[in-house]
Amino acid sequence: MIVIFNKETRHYTLKNMSQSLWKQSLCLCLMFLLTSQVYAESLASVNGIPVSSQRYYEHYQLLQKTHPHAQGKAKLEQRLAKRALLPLVKELILRQEAQRLGFDLMTLKVSDPMKDLRQKHKTAESLAQYLLKVGETESSLRLKHWMNEATYQLMKASGVLSVSREEIQKEYTRQMAVFKQPEKTKAYQILLKLPESASAEQINQGFKRIQDLHKQLLTGTEFSILVQRHSEGALRSRNGDMGFVKRGDLVQSVEDVLWQLKEGEFSIPVRSRYGWHIIKRGANIAASQKSFDQVKNFLADGLRQAKYRKQRRSFVKGLWAKAQIDSSLSLRY
């Protein structure tokens, strides 16, 4: 085997050679050990600051495993090298811009993407296979998340994401229907279930039972007591409490009855596809509209996020154009 050095990617590959050249191979390997730090430092720099060679090689070596067909093919090796190098260059550009703005990147709160991945992939082997599949290391994934948040905060600090009161007011008007709270009412039920394909006899038997419960209500028996003794289904443990509902939440037959009742009143027996019901109406919440002041911060955040998604590439591209980037590879953003 013979060691071949690629000047552009700064990596070595092995090629077949004759037995008589083994000494030359040994010499080249020794040269690699002596000069690897020099080559690492010359991968790329931003305004004189070199990228992290350790993280570059870690990512590049993983990409080589992901793309074994690229070995020995200069153009493909260059693509892999750029994929590993570009994020590191971008990181330096963002850090230098933060320093220029006086923005402390140490205050960034960035969620760790590996936390969710470890929950999804129960074993270290499964996680390693996933990272190999997507061509990312733990370090490169964390860097991606960090750069997204750093870019957002730098754009915000530089005024790119500023939103005016007029913009927020316009968005409030556009989304006014979203902030309208419909009328809601508390609902309770006694339910006697019927089979999906109930016979006429089963329907009649159910009706007689629900009629008897209705008569007991009329004579003063507490609704909650009848729920506990006779109602069927999950709501029995909650005294038949269906929660606050708005128009359209319930099946039509129950809906029609509920909204005709006054607070505290109960209905006559009513049938739905679930069975026989007696419905009771509870407290009411009138329809309302959230005010501008209640939602303005929420709307402002949404507008900033929209501007960030639309302008983040041009923002980073502008910083990239201003930076002095030195690399053996032709790097473009």
- All structural domains of the chain, each given as residue ranges with its CATH number in brackets, are 1-42 (no CATH), 46-180+290-333 (1.10.4030), 183-286 (3.10.50.40)
Q: What is the residue type of 55?
A: R
pLDDT tens, position by position, 26-73: 444 443 333 333 334 458 999 999 998 899 999 999 999 989 888 888
The distance from CA 107 to its chain's CA centroid, rounded to whole angstroms, is 22
Q: What is the residue type of 232?
A: E
**Of 306, 317, 324, nearest to 152 (Cα)?**
306
Q: Which of helix, strand or coil describes residue 120?
A: helix
* Whole-number Å distance between alpha carbons of 231 and 277: 9
Handedness of CA 59, 61, 62, 64 (dihedral sign): positive
- Look at phi and psi of residue 108 and say left if phi exceeds 0, alpha if psi is from -120 to 50, else beta: beta
Q: Tell me which of 14-18, 148-152, 165-169, 234-238 is least confident.
A: 14-18
pLDDT tens, position by position, 285-333: 999 999 999 999 999 999 999 999 999 999 999 999 999 999 988 888 8
* Whole-number Å distance between alpha carbons of 105 and 315: 17
Q: Tell me which of 6-15, 27-36, 56-65, 183-192 is least confident.
A: 27-36
Read off the pLDDT of each residue in 215-229 and give the average, rounded to a whole number: 96
pLDDT tens, position by position, 268-285: 999 999 999 999 999 999
Residue 42 is predicted with a pLDDT of 58
* Contact by Cβ (8 Å): 60, 66: no
* Whole-number Å distance between alpha carbons of 10 and 38: 10
